[in-house]
Amino acid sequence: MSTKRIVSNTLSYILLIVLSFIWLIPIAWVIITSFRGETGSYIPYFWPKSFTFNNYIKLFTETDQFYFGKWFGNTLFVAVFSCLLSTFYVLGISYSVSRLRFRMRKPFMNVALILGMFPGFMSMIAVYYILKGLNITQSLLSLILVYSGGAGLVFYIAKGFFDTIPRSIDEAAWIDGASKWKVFTNITIPLSKPIIIYTILTSFISPWTDYIFVSVIMGDKYDNYTVALGLYKMLEKEFITTWYTRFAAGAVVVSIPIAILFIVMQRFYTEGVSGAVKG
């Protein structure tokens, strides 16, 4: 190996180590804070003088002001059902656009692409008044409808993956008498595990971490809060001194399901993205 290559690799590794350290410090700080025995939002030292597990216990047991356990359940409920509906919408639309040829197909794809460039919160006020007209504001149902309703527009990645599956497989099944639905469910879906996993992950994360829309919809209805909004409330001036370390504990608890999902499904997630890029 040449000297130039050795120097280049060394500098690259040093840069990666520094960036990893910068990325890991906030995570380590939140975890350490969640076990910190001292209360308050600020202490003049990094390493706590005492550690305790009470922050996690009180996070779930002290429900006079904050109902973290209920909020966690609300978030899980919304995320799971939004994920199921969103996955169905995305796979259905992406497969239709990939395999079928119909009038206005190209304009539809162009409009969907343009709409996808705008952030979702631009339509938040309009969506709020629509939900208000239906009398379903401040409900978990409204969150599920909104999170899953716009999922169909983000079909491009899944469409790219379906494009990589040879059409000859579909045509052979059609010749044998299979309907388009049978081809989709019995042939395409089993071949599409990577993009299904990718779609499930992305559809689950969005409602799990969303704060903006929940804060607009839920208002002061504490019972239907999700963890993102509930954790933010813990940082308000009158609560921050007592609840700051419990807020850190809540942040750790919230990250656990996402971390587990990514660790278990990382290989399929990567295959889904690479397959879509290839298409």
Neighbours of 175 (CB within 10 A): 8
**What is the biggest distance separating any 2 CA atoms in the chain, rounded to whole angstroms?**
74
Specify which residues 36 forms β-bridges with: 51
What is the identity of the amino acid at 115?
L
Question: What pTM does this model have?
Answer: 0.80
Domains of the chain: 59-278 (1.10.3720.10)
| Percent of all residues in the chain with a pLDDT value above 70, rounded to a whole number | 95
Is the pLDDT assigned to residue 278 strictly greater than 50?
no
Provide the strand spans (E) within the chain.
none
- Whether 63 and 131 have beta carbons less than 8 Å apart is answered as no
Is the pLDDT assigned to residue 271 strictly greater than 60?
no
Q: What average pLDDT does this structure show over 159-164?
A: 82
The rounded distance, in Å, linking the Cα atoms of 215 and 183 is: 43
Query: Which residue has tokens 């309703």?
Result: 149
Residue 189 to residues 60, 153, 167, 192, 263: CA-CA distances in angstroms? 40, 20, 14, 5, 23
DSSP state of 187: I
pLDDT tens per residue, range 213-259? 888 888 778 788 888 888 888 888 888 888 888 888 888 999 888 88
For residue 279, what pLDDT band results from cuts at 50, 70 and 90?
very low
The rounded distance, in Å, linking the Cα atoms of 223 and 67 is: 7
